Structure 1
Amino acid sequence: MSPGLTGMLLGLVAAGGLILAVRYAPPFRAVRLVDRLAPYVHDTPPPSRLLGTPTEPGLLVAVRRVFGPVIGDGARLVDRFVGGRAAVRRRLDALAGDMTVEDFRVEQVVWGGLGLLGGVVVSGVGSAAAGSLNVLSAGLFCVAGLVGGVLGRDWWLTQQVNRREELLLAEFPVVAELLALAVTAGESPTAAIARVTRLSGGELARELGSALGRARAGIPLTEALQQVADRTSLDPLARFIDGLLVAIERGTPLAEVLRAQAADVREAGKRRLLEAGGRKEIAMMVPVVFLVLPVTVLFALFPGLISIVSLAQ
């Protein structure tokens, strides 16, 4: 790397650090309402950390403590430009986690920073290999890394939701048949849900267990089950919850309904397997058509081509 390029990069780093230091210095930082009211409010002493568990992942806590103002401004900027808070909230609820939209925006900022760092590294390596710095290419790499990191976290959240819904569908027939067996044995729907969640594991059992826990905490069981149905976009699970609600509210027979729903989900799973097999069969034609067939034609025509060339000479 030439001395001029090295000096340029060091100057950019120093200028960026100076801008950040001046931008977030106390005289130029906006005073928050919490900071204004803090001297007039006597807070209770915080409890010991040994008495509870952290409510946030360690990465978010560390990032917020080290880069608090920058991360907060970046999260608000991402939320303003990307938008879609309702969709993000719905997907976070579908994961049944404790992460809020603000925590997700912070993770998007962290992913965007990592993507920007990757773009800087790639542009630096390319400039070192070429012996000169192309400012336009370096800027495009950095912007692509930043945008890719922010959107990549959103894509990863969608993948997490899809995988969890696949697990819910895979566990649904077994849980439905266990509930039908417990109801047939004479237990009430509430007692059957409690028995199934106690004896089984998995995402669906945890969902039903959390709904039962909320019901024991004071929320009506029908409302707790409806919250489970609202958090997911799976039609079989929504019909399953509706059947439970009707059985609890009106006392209608539930066992046959649950067995029929389990059979429907199994048939839907078989159809999905057949559709996936058809798509894989079509995908298998790609290497056959574009790799195997050209090589076969080449082997068949190459001797004749060599003979024609030799005769022409």
Structure 2
Amino acid sequence: MTTTTAFAVLCGLLLGAGCWLILVRLPFMRGNTFSDRIEAQLRSRNLESRLLRTPTHNLTPFGPLERIVRPIIGDAITYLSRFNIGSAALGKRLARAGSSKSTLDFRAEQLLWAGAGFVMAVLVVVISAAAGQFSPAFLVVCVISGAAGGYMLRDYVLGQRIRKRESAMLSEFPSLAELMALAVAAGESAMGAMDRASRSSSGELSAEFGLVLADARSGKSLSEALQAFSMRSELPPLVRFFDGLVVAVERGTPLADVLRAQAADVRDAAKRELMESAGRKEIAMMVPLVFGVLPLTVIFAAFPAIAALEISL
């Protein structure tokens, strides 16, 4: 396949995709939903001004192109949401990552990343075809791998964000727990101590304290707000901490002792994890020592003797 043929194939694919987008967005190709049918009757009751609506932010730097493709992505997400592909688990993961995005927004980002991987795979195929190395099997494998890789890469980035955020929360937890213990010992209530800790610090855990306080001030009890956080978190030290707070608030046990004990437990767990990490790294350091440094030492030690034997012979 020559360069002209590869360019013609690429232009044909782009033209076909454009014609397909125009066709599927025609009015007779789209069925009216129930909300669309009754919108004309409810328009007089909807007094909200369009100027006061929250503007939609673009997820990519391609503003006009994104606005063109967004309806197609919305239709695809709506179709996939019928199968309920881990929506509850995904919502919990987004909450653990501290993201305000909905599951539909995340699925849209995954589709965009998959599209980017697909485009990169097509470019690789076109470049290889221009070099005279076109293969249908390579085309199929490269395109599928690119799209699947982009889709899974977005999920991997979310997992890395969750691990980084939870690590930061664990590192902040002992200091905030002791600060709350001091506030409680000075006469503050549990809610007041949490408010003081969240206002006196900045970080991931203090932001979570702010969310708990916002839930408590919106009408929920403090116990319900704490239980909601323990349900969306999977860190055992934090779950034990908030469960201990719930028990202390409900039964009236001393909070200061509970907070100090929780902070001491987290510090001990951090020390154990540090020692385990040092042990694993010590074992990993044996690999370059045994296979790299030790053979060179043996060679330098034995080479003079071997050279002397060869000279004597």
TM-score normalized with structure 1 length: 0.86
Q: 1:66 to 1:147 in 2, by over 3 A?
A: same
**Equivalent residue runs for 1:158-173 within 5 Å:** 158-173=159-174
1:98 — aligned with what?
100
Q: What is the DSSP-based 3-state SS (H/G/I as helix, E as strand, rest coil) of the residue aligned with 1:136?
A: helix
Shift of 1:144: 0.5
> In 2, are the aligned partners of 1:5 and 1:133 still within 8 Å (CA)?
no
Does 22-31 or 70-79 show the bigger shift?
A: 70-79
Q: 1:141 to 1:291 in 2, by over 3 A?
A: farther
Q: 1:8 to 1:60 in 2, by over 3 A?
A: closer
Q: How many residues align?
A: 308
> In 1, are the aligned partners of 2:216 and 2:225 still within 8 Å (CA)?
yes
- Partners of 2:84 and 2:300 lie apart in 1 by 54
Let me know the Cα RMSD of the aligned residues.
3.2
Instruction: Indicate the percent of aligned positions where both proteins have the same amino acid.
Output: 44
Does 146-155 or 78-87 show the bigger shift?
A: 78-87
> In 1, are the aligned partners of 2:197 and 2:206 still within 8 Å (CA)?
yes
> In 2, are the aligned partners of 1:91 and 1:161 still within 8 Å (CA)?
yes
2:261 maps to amino acid: A
> In 1, are the aligned partners of 2:6 and 2:129 still within 8 Å (CA)?
no
- Partners of 1:122 and 1:305 lie apart in 2 by 54
Q: Deviations over 1:104-128 (max 9, x none)?
A: 1101101111111111122222233
Q: Deviations over 1:243-275 (max 9, x none)?
A: 211222221111112111111101110111112
- Partners of 2:206 and 2:151 lie apart in 1 by 33
Shift of 1:300: 7.4
1:229 — aligned with what?
230
**Residue 48 in structure 1 maps to residue 17 in structure 2:** no
1:126 — aligned with what?
128
Shift of 1:176: 0.7
Q: 1:57 to 1:245 in 2, by over 3 A?
A: farther
Q: Deviations over 1:92-146 (max 9, x none)?
A: 12233321111111011011111111111222222333x2421221221111110
Q: 1:31 to 1:98 in 2, by over 3 A?
A: same
Q: What is the DSSP-based 3-state SS (H/G/I as helix, E as strand, rest coil) of the residue aligned with 2:48?
A: coil
- What 5-or-longer segments of structure 1 have no aligned partner? none
> In 1, are the aligned partners of 2:190 and 2:249 still within 8 Å (CA)?
yes
Q: 1:96 to 1:5 in 2, by over 3 A?
A: closer
**Residue 58 in structure 1 maps to residue 58 in structure 2:** yes
- Partners of 1:206 and 1:32 lie apart in 2 by 40
Q: 1:37 to 1:166 in 2, by over 3 A?
A: same
**Residue 250 in structure 1 maps to residue 262 in structure 2:** no
Q: Deviations over 1:224-260 (max 9, x none)?
A: 1111111100111111112211222221111112111
